[in-house]
Amino acid sequence: MSKRFYITTAIYYVNGQPHLGHAYEMIITDVIARSRRTLGQEVFFLTGLDEHGQKVQQAAQAEKKDPQAYCDELAADWQAFAKKLELTNNDFVRTTQARHKEYVQAQLAKLHAGGQFYKSSYVGFYSTKEETFLTEKDRRPDGTFDPSYGNVTELKEENYFFKLGAHQQWLIDYIEANPTFVQPDYRRNEVLGFLKNNKLEDLCISRPVSRLNWGIPLPFDQDYVTFVWFDALVNYTSIAFAHPEFELWPADIHVIGKDIVKFHAVYWPIMLKAMGLPLPKQVLVHGWWQKDGAKISKSTGNIVDPIAVINEWGLDAFRFYVLRELDIGPDGNWTDAGFKSRYQSELANGLGNLLNRSLSMLKKYRGGIVPAKSDELAADAARAADEARALLKQNQLQAALHSIWGLVTRANQYVDQTRPFSLAKNPAQAQRLDEVLYNLVETCRVLAVLLWPFLPGTAVKIYAQLGLSDEPNALNAATWGGLSAGHAIGEPTPLFPRKEV
Ligand code: MSP
């Protein structure tokens, strides 16, 4: 059995509907998963839901619903959302599933037996919003806590703690010896800075049932449930080992947002070390989206509804905008004007126009039959394919799209330069017209192959319009000359209808 490329998203709290930020994370993960598939690797892509904890319990209470029934309803929406985005996930985890709960309990029992936990009294402050304990040093100079913590309450309780602190130097050494473990580099430096300048506190891994009962019971003390983060992080392994038919662990990439780096780059590696498991190869950290320069927030109404955008403009227009606009790392800003402008210039007038005029001319001048091979654009196509291949291997999705669009632009210029509509008027130029038409339709075919990880629906449509019955899902097929003389293409239809804006 050979190891599969195993990639995950964070798992999402089921306390509301998915928004732009969640969609972005799912899409970049899907593009990386598809990239590896198109490069010929076997891939396992996991996404899913984080269903326990106070946040979810409170959301269920607010709707006067039993937490499990509440999660079941929302889980159906989130699963439908994954389909709407055409994610190629191989499984969908819900942390309330028996397969996950049993695995968490088995790990807890093992760690407890191995002396990794101790019971101690905690006196301090608690942020429900962040599901985290706070201390005096988290107060701001004016004595208050940052509003991002929400309502902070004071409490005193007995809990179980995991011995994190003991592994601080080991983790520093590990991250220093493995420079790609946390990416981009500036996130890695932040983690190292945090570890070198703070004493790592032990991690509280329990919550008393008297305060919170929506969680996985500790197998060794029924008065407690497991802290939601301990439960959640373990999903990456519980599901990997729920698939004995594949070799999955260690994960190749955990894709997460910048707000949860500490959990993934500090707590999780130490948990895995204690569990006796190898560490994931990489934690890949993306930035956060804003809309119109302000935080996305349901309460202020500053939101982008991905489903509404997809229903109006199509899935691939949505995928294209978020991938082309924002590299993995920095923060991004959604504007409706920016979205429409990219749709119009890059999709409708760029790619869409290239395909439509290439195929329409082939229909009109050659009855839709591909002429003899010609290789005037072969070098341009090969350059775009080589660049895309190299960039996809490094998860440089935005740069890869940029290279691919270089080929779109080149081919559109080629139409303007060679003027096939004029050539068609002159019977003496018949052979030249054949050459031009071949170069155009073959470039469209190569583009479909290169675009498949990013815009899978569009890639499939291009292949269908070219009259090709296979799927454009293997990068090797980007080699020039795939279309043969005499092949009959299908019907040209606009990929991205122009819209009044
Ligand atoms: N349940 C935890 C994660 C557990 S992983 C073992 C959680 N859930 S979350 O629903 O709040 O966030 C899930 C992911 O969505 C995180 O990676 C987070 O960074 C991402 N995003 C949430 N809002 C976002 C934006 N506005 N922009 C981009 N990503 C955002 O944290």
| Mutational pocket test of ligand 1: of 14, 20, 25, the residue with most ligand atoms within 8 Å of the beta carbon | 25
Exposed, middle or buried: residue 114 (CB in 10 Å: 0-12, 13-18, 19+)? exposed
In tens, the pLDDT along 350-396 reads 999 999 999 999 999 999 999 999 999 999 999 999 999 999 999 99
| Mutational pocket test of ligand 1: of 51, 96, 234, 259, the residue with most ligand atoms within 8 Å of the beta carbon | 259
When pLDDT is averaged across residues 5-28 and rounded to a whole number, the result is 97
The pair phi, psi for residue 43, each rounded to 5°, is -130, 145
Distance 250 CA to ligand 1 centre (A): 22
Pocket of ligand 1 (CB under 6 A): 10-13, 21-22, 24-25, 50, 232-233, 256-257, 259-260, 288-289, 296
Q: How far apart are CA 437 and CA 354, in angstroms?
A: 12
Please give the single-letter amino acid code of residue 257. Answer: G
| Residue minimizing CA distance to atom 6 of ligand 1 | 233
Distance 16 CA to ligand 1 centre (A): 12
Structure tokens at 221: 């003390």
Return contacts of 387-394, CB within 8 angstroms, 24+ apart.
Answer: 388/450, 388/475, 388/478, 389/39, 389/475, 392/35, 392/38, 392/39, 392/453, 392/475, 393/35, 393/39
**What is 347-414 written as a DSSP string?**
IIIIIIHHHHHHHHHHHHHHTTB--S---TTHHHHHHHHHHHHHHHHTT-HHHHHHHHHHHHHHHHHH
Q: CA nearest 220: which of 132, 133, 107?
A: 107
Q: Are 474 and 41 in contact (CB under 8 A)?
A: no
Distance 411 CA to ligand 1 centre (A): 40
Q: CA nearest 282: which of 264, 267, 270?
A: 264
Structure tokens at 97: 């599933």
Ligand 1 nearest-atom number relative to CA 287: 28
Q: How far apart are CA 9 and CA 4, in angstroms?
A: 16
**Does residue 141 have a cis peptide bond before it, meaning omega lies within 30 degrees of 0?**
no
| Residue minimizing CA distance to atom 10 of ligand 1 | 12
Ligand 1 nearest-atom number relative to CA 268: 6
Q: Are 404 and 450 in contact (CB under 8 A)?
A: yes
In tens, the pLDDT along 228-276 reads 999 999 999 999 999 999 999 999 999 999 999 999 999 999 999 999 9
Ligand 1 nearest-atom number relative to CA 258: 19
Residue 134 is predicted with a pLDDT of 86
In tens, the pLDDT along 50-70 reads 999 988 999 999 999 999 999
Beta strands per DSSP E along 260-372:
283-286, 289-291, 294-295, 332-334
Q: Are 153 and 126 in contact (CB under 8 A)?
A: yes
Ligand 1 nearest-atom number relative to CA 12: 10
Strand partners, 156: 123
Ligand 1 nearest-atom number relative to CA 13: 10
Residue 122 is predicted with a pLDDT of 82
pLDDT-derived band at 501, boundaries 50, 70, 90: low
Residue 143 is predicted with a pLDDT of 87
Residue 124 is predicted with a pLDDT of 83
Q: How far apart are CA 263 and CA 266, in angstroms?
A: 6
